[in-house]
Amino acid sequence: MTNLVPMPESKRSSFWARLTEKMSNISDTVSKKLSSLTQVEVIRTSYIWTIHNFSFLSVESTKKVKSSVFTMGANKEYQWRLRMYPHGCDEEDSNHLSLFLQLVSPTDTPVSAKFDFSIIKPDGQKHTLASHKIRSYTQWKSLGYHELIERSHLLDERTGYMSDDTLKVSCDVSVATGNMVNQPSLEEPELPEPIDAELNLLRDLDNMLSNKIYADVGLLVGDDRFEVHKALLSARSRVFAAMFEHDMKEKQQSEVRILDIEKEVLEELIRFLYTGRVKEIDTIAPGLLAAADKYALNDLKLMCERSIFSNLTVDNVLNTLVIADRHNSLTLKQQAIEFMKANAPRLMDNLANFLLSSGECAACGCK
């Protein structure tokens, strides 16, 4: 048998560099598209209205309260004020506080605006009560809420809305000025369709396995030899990593003798290490499960457990139970036991033969 000469470290690094470059360099024809941006100018302000001795605003003496006028815009062209009805603006709203935003300034065209009503608590926290959608305003038009908040809830000290009989109302107003800013057209690259990088990586790793390029160790089973890469096996399995990292004969030699694994199983084990895939797993699942357990490949072990369970029958459930116990496959073991319970009458003959031919029934956990 010809020994495989390990690849020099410099060439190994060069190989991985070329593989990385191959995966990252994607050439494609890049077209361009035109785009532009229109920005609608919106101005914003926050107005706080403080009312001391709020509870003295009785139904008899105070039907409506108006705030001072507040302005917006570079030339103060937008003038607003708040109109509050402490006991509701209508009889049916008498248990609530009503609040409206009114446009005071004259305007040639309707003004598009939206607003939020909030209460500023004594600790400075803003509690939003209502958010109004964009609406059109003309002079003296008022929009707001007949039932903004219940008076009993507002005045209840436990809610923390007021202190020292002082109410602070905040109105955040956003107004569209009617001005628009257009940015010039830009040429933007039209990106190529996204590629499936994961699929390409799997394909390249499969090619690397098939071509044996820069392989630096051989796995031996019987008279067969599989050329593989130490770096990849070490990255995928901590057991292989220990073989190659510690002062073992495998570290010194360019081949490793694999025991207790059939050729077909080893071939699929290697395929999984490179691509995460297995061909015809149902035909070799028990043996592959043992190999996955030996080399600490939990993902592969789970794949095998699922395959074995999907093919569980009265004829193989007892052997499956032993395999699951031997390789610490707790879920598969429990599934096998449940299957046996559900099929107990049909299992009696098989169980008798199994007990005569196997000494492992005590370990399987079946009573």
Tens-place pLDDT, residues 214-223: 899 999 999 9
Q: Are 171 and 45 in contact (CB under 8 A)?
A: no
pLDDT at 5: 46
pLDDT at 85: 95
**Can you list the domains of the chain with their CATH numbers?**
40-182 (2.60.210.10), 198-283 (3.30.710.10)
Which residue in 269, 273, 294 sits closest to 281, CA to CA? 269
Q: Token digits for 67?
A: 């705030």
Q: Using CB atoms within 10 Å of the CB of residue 220, give its burial: 0 to 12 exposed, 13 to 18 middle, 19+ buried.
A: middle
What is the total residue count of the chain? 367
- For the chain, percent of residues with pLDDT exceeding 90: 59
* 204 vs 19: CA distance, rounded Å: 8
Q: Is the pLDDT reported for residue 240 higher than 80?
A: yes
User: How large is the average pLDDT for residues 247-251?
Assistant: 58
Q: Using CB atoms within 10 Å of the CB of residue 26, give its burial: 0 to 12 exposed, 13 to 18 middle, 19+ buried.
A: exposed
Residue 306 identity (one-letter amino acid): R
pLDDT at 27: 45
Grade residue 243 by pLDDT with cuts at 50, 70 and 90.
confident
The model scores a pTM over 0.85: no
User: How large is the average pLDDT for residues 346-365?
Assistant: 58
pLDDT at 128: 96
Q: Minimum mean pLDDT among 31-45, 247-261, 311-325: which range?
A: 247-261
* DSSP state at residue 62: -
* 114 vs 275: CA distance, rounded Å: 57
Which residue in 46, 44, 91, 56 sits closest to 167, CA to CA? 56
Q: Is the pLDDT reported for residue 212 higher than 90?
A: no
* 115 vs 117: CA distance, rounded Å: 7
pLDDT at 210: 85
Q: Are 217 and 4 in contact (CB under 8 A)?
A: yes
Q: Minimum mean pLDDT among 91-100, 189-198, 233-242: which range?
A: 189-198
Grade residue 4 by pLDDT with cuts at 50, 70 and 90.
very low
Give the full edge-to-edge strand order of the sheet including 255-257.
224-228, 217-221, 255-257
Q: Which stretches of the chain are DSSP H helices? A: 9-24, 151-155, 197-211, 230-236, 238-245, 249-252, 263-275, 281-294, 298-310, 317-326, 330-342, 344-357, 361-364
Q: Minimum mean pLDDT among 226-230, 260-264, 357-361: which range?
A: 357-361
